[in-house]
Amino acid sequence: MISAAAFVGCGSKPASDAGVVHLKVWSMWSGDEEKGFEAVLAKYHEEHPNVVIDNLGAVTDEKSIRAIIAGAPPDIFTIIDPTSLSTLAANNALEPLDTRFADAGFHDVDFTPGSLGQCRYKGKLFGMPYLLDCVTLMYNKDVFVQAGLDPNKPPRTFEELEADCRKITKRDSDGKLTRIGIHPIDVSPAVIISMFDGKFLDGDRVTADYPNNIEALNAYMRLMNDQGGYPAVQSFASGFGANTGQFNPFFHGDVGMLVSGEWNPYWAYKYSPNCHFGVAPLPYPTNHPDRAGSVWLADNIFCIPRGAKHAREAWEFLAWTQTPEAQQLFASTLHNVPNIRVELHDRKLTDDPPFVPKNPGDRDPNSWRPAYGQFLALADSPTATYFPSMPVANMYVNQLATAFDGVGFGSKKPEQALAAINGRVQKEMDKYR
Amino acid sequence: MIATNEPNAAALSRMRRSERRAMLMGLLFVSPWLIGFLIFTLYPVFASAYLSFTDYRVLAPPKWVGFSNYTDLIGDHDYFLPSLFDTIFMFLELPIALTIGLALALLLDQKLRGIAFYRTLFYLPSIVPVVSSAVLWMWVLNPEHGLMNAALHSLHIPGPAWLASPAWSKPAMIMMDLWGVGGGMVIYLAALQGVPTPLYEAAALDGANGWQKIWHVTIPQISPVIFFNMIMGVIGTFQYFTQTFIMTNGGPDNSTLFYAMYLYQNAFQYFRMGTACAMAWMLFIITLIATLVVFKSSARWVYYEGEAR
């Protein structure tokens, strides 16, 4: 009895809070990124004193989903893996936002292409982006010079990428790999397929074995063979440190190229200031020239769960995050790409103003911005792609990775491996009809 | 008779009342555990049995689908059956761990100076949490910078890619687990100390050599403990999970996608909770059968003191 009374007591807010709305936000960020997000929240509170936002950091998608099931969701939560949005939307777990979007006077054309598409499921809007990731090719200029390549000529086509990888790949006297052309792990099957104008879905039909997808898989295996074969490359890559810090093999020159995002210029500045690298669009196959200039996009998505206590105030916050000031504020600490188009060309974000060191050895604190700006410019590409909205995307992506792995180790044939995915994923898809 | 019976009956009913009281008190005192057991163990067990017959995607209410989760799994030659066979492969570890554990226990049963130090040394790895030892062994087995391949290299043996190779990933995990064989070893060691010395003396009088003493005295005497370790090994192997979750996430080429790992993927990555529940129940039945087989066989080789044979 006593403990029950104590539980009830916990739920109510102090009376002095009258008129102030407490918004519960669950976000994915931790560490420095969390501090950046909290600065955004502080700014919002400053402009909207009647709203206090309580942030819980480092929340995983699973935790949010569990809270929704348990009927105790926050008012807003972030989705780490954009493909989870469809799963949640298909299960009726998210508040639809189309009316609010229209009432707020937003227009699709003002958004970075692709940023809203990832927030829609079956044409309806279920989330709002707040910055996004733009994944493309980075190349280490020092490695290019060592391999006898022009440090100002990144590969434009897939064929050039292959040739460059062959030149960069190096072995020791025992024949063991000591350097490879491109980091094999971050080049996800979905990105490779997008480079070949592949197709994941045709309406509600799963098209894993679409001819271009098979072409992409074969090309990827060729690319691995250019560097000593899939098993050897995997073995070599298993010695790599994480990409998220000072042990990134790309910064160290163990790999010549990396398919990664806009956060790298700042990290390179912070962890490997002596690394010289360039940024380029994803290489396109010569038989698909229309894929020139493409990149891969992935949003940071904010959703309002069904049953949120303060849906209106939650939306007001999300609408505010779309203002140029809010975009600039968060982009300057998170170093992600703004999802409002005009901000892609905001020179405050991308310029390196003249720098006069006060003491010898002082570093220009903005020297990483021009490279970051290249990612921002590329994000505006009309050929930018992202994984289509579908309720079983997570399974689809995993199965693609397994198929690529199976073909790489020789246990599966490309056509069969991809065709087998169709049946499995389609069966799960059909449950959502 | 009747006169004496009456107070007896009264005493009995009084007793019953106090017994009932004692029982209620007892229940009250165990109720924290009892309620926990009912809510967090018994209820989920029954719920999972029901859910295994449904299509349950967590966010939407379960829909009854009959046996289709079970039939789909049995017909799945790409994931489910390989995951079961990969798990069965890990049973190779059982006899190896048993032999090494027993051999170490026999060696450490000697009356030597500083034996406590050696016992500690061999037992130590088994108290390292599985997660820590898995992370540690990821680096020991790293094909590029690992200790293992550095050692092999100095012997001019080209080391395999271990966890990055579909052929070597399972042997690598078995090897790693053997590092923690000390847990079983300690149990053998305790059992060895319980073997009566007169049996060894009698065997010696009959002219038995060291090997014969082990084979005809030691092993029969400690067979209940071998049996115990075997049962625990069978159950543990079917539930093999942590190592692959930490080290390989099922790869390379699904070579370490063990049963429990695939169950986890279905439940928490694909939200196919109905399928996952069906897998859990099939695992329960498979484990039950395997354990029963070991139990049945035990009549032939396990010796219990005082048992008529």
Residue range A320-332, pLDDT digits in tens: 999 999 999 999 9
Given this model, what pLDDT does residue A91 score?
A: 85
In a domain, B255, yes or no: yes
Cβ–Cβ below 8 Å for B142 and A411: no
Indicate if B78 and B33 belong to the same structural domain: no
Rg (CA), chain A: 23
In a domain, B135, yes or no: yes
**Pairwise CA distance, residues A298 & A280, whole Å:** 18
Cβ–Cβ below 8 Å for B254 and A431: no
What are residue A363's phi and psi, to 5 degrees?
Answer: -100, 145
Given this model, what pLDDT does residue A36 score?
A: 94
Those residues of chain B whose CB sits closer than 8 Å to some CB in chain A are: 55, 57-60, 78, 142-145, 158, 161, 163-166, 251-254, 265, 268-272
Residue range B219-236, pLDDT digits in tens: 999 999 999 999 999 999
Those residues of chain A whose CB sits closer than 8 Å to some CB in chain B are: 62, 65, 68-69, 87-88, 91-93, 174, 231, 234-239, 392, 394-395, 398, 402, 405-406, 408-409, 411, 420, 424, 428, 431
* Chain A: closest CA distance from residue B148 (Å): 13
3-class SS of residue B45: helix
Minimum Cα–Cα distance from A427: chain B residue = B72
Minimum Cα–Cα distance from B254: chain A residue = A402
Residues 6+ apart with CB under 8 A from B266: B272, B273, B275, B276, B279
Indicate the DSSP class of residue B216.
Answer: I
Residues of B in contact with A92 (CB under 8 A): 59-60
Residue range B142-153, pLDDT digits in tens: 998 899 999 999
Tokens of A293: 């200039």
- Helix, strand and coil content of chain B, in percent to the nearest 5, comes to 75, 0, 25
Residue matched to tokens 């434009």: A156
Given this model, what pLDDT does residue B11 score?
A: 61
- Listed by start position, the domains of chain A span 18-133+297-345, 148-295+385-430
User: Stretch B26-32: mean pLDDT, rounded?
Assistant: 93
Indicate if B44 and B150 belong to the same structural domain: no
Cβ–Cβ below 8 Å for B272 and A428: yes
Residue in A174, A394, A406 closest to B270 by CB: A394
Tokens of B233: 């090994």
Given this model, what pLDDT does residue B17 score?
A: 82
- Among the four given CATH numbers 3.30.365.10, 3.40.190.10, 2.40.160.40, 3.90.76.10, the one describing domain A148-295+385-430: 3.40.190.10
Task: Give the residue from A238, A303, A404, A409 with the most B CB atoms within 10 Å of its CB, the best one to mutate.
Answer: A238
In a domain, B240, yes or no: yes
In a domain, B57, yes or no: no
In a domain, B61, yes or no: no
Minimum Cα–Cα distance from A408: chain B residue = B253
Question: Residue A325 belongs to what H/E stretch?
Answer: helix A324-334
Residues of A in contact with B271 (CB under 8 A): 87
Cβ–Cβ below 8 Å for A65 and B252: no
In a domain, B168, yes or no: yes
Domain, as residue range, for B253: 72-301
Minimum Cα–Cα distance from B77: chain A residue = A420
In a domain, B58, yes or no: no
User: Stretch B163-179: mean pLDDT, rounded?
Assistant: 95
- Compute CA A262 distance to the chain's CA centroid, rounded to the nearest angstrom: 9
Indicate if B139 and B190 belong to the same structural domain: yes
**Model pTM?**
0.88
Residue range A196-233, pLDDT digits in tens: 999 999 999 999 999 999 999 999 999 999 999 999 99
Minimum Cα–Cα distance from A176: chain B residue = B144
Indicate if B9 and B157 belong to the same structural domain: no
* Chain B: closest CA distance from residue A199 (Å): 22
**Pairwise CA distance, residues B200 & B209, whole Å:** 10
| Mean pLDDT, all residues of chain A | 91
**A18-133+297-345 and A148-295+385-430 have identical folds:** yes
Cβ–Cβ below 8 Å for B253 and A408: yes
Where residue A262 falls among pLDDT bands split at 50, 70, 90? very high
Cβ–Cβ below 8 Å for A236 and B265: no
Q: Give me the percent of chain A exceeding a pLDDT of 70.
A: 96
**Pairwise CA distance, residues A144 & A258, whole Å:** 13
**Pairwise CA distance, residues A202 & A200, whole Å:** 7
Which ipTM value was assigned to this complex?
0.86
Tell me the one-letter amino acid at B245.
F
Query: Superfamily for A18-133+297-345?
Result: Periplasmic binding protein-like II (3.40.190.10)
Size of interface A-B (CB pairs under 8 A): 69
User: Stretch A160-165: mean pLDDT, rounded?
Assistant: 97
Cβ–Cβ below 8 Å for B164 and A238: yes
**Pairwise CA distance, residues A112 & A382, whole Å:** 10
Residue range B108-125, pLDDT digits in tens: 998 888 999 999 999 999
Given this model, what pLDDT does residue A175 score?
A: 86
* Chain B: closest CA distance from residue A234 (Å): 6
Residue in B143, B251, B270 closest to A405 by CB: B251
Indicate if B154 and B8 belong to the same structural domain: no
What are residue B196's phi and psi, to 5 degrees?
Answer: -65, 135
Cβ–Cβ below 8 Å for B164 and A234: yes
Indicate if B44 and B159 belong to the same structural domain: no
Number of domains present in the structure of chain B = 2
Indicate if B26 and B161 belong to the same structural domain: no
Three-state SS sequence of A357-423: CCCCCCCCCCCCHHHHHHHHHHHCCCCCECCCCCCCHHHHHHHHHHHHHHHHCCCCCHHHHHHHHHH
In a domain, B220, yes or no: yes
Cis peptide, bond prior to residue B160, ω within 30 of zero: no
Residues of B in contact with A60 (CB under 8 A): none
Residues in chain B: 309
**Pairwise CA distance, residues A389 & A19, whole Å:** 39
Output the CA torsion B221→B225→B226→B230 (10° steps).
160
Indicate if B87 and B200 belong to the same structural domain: yes
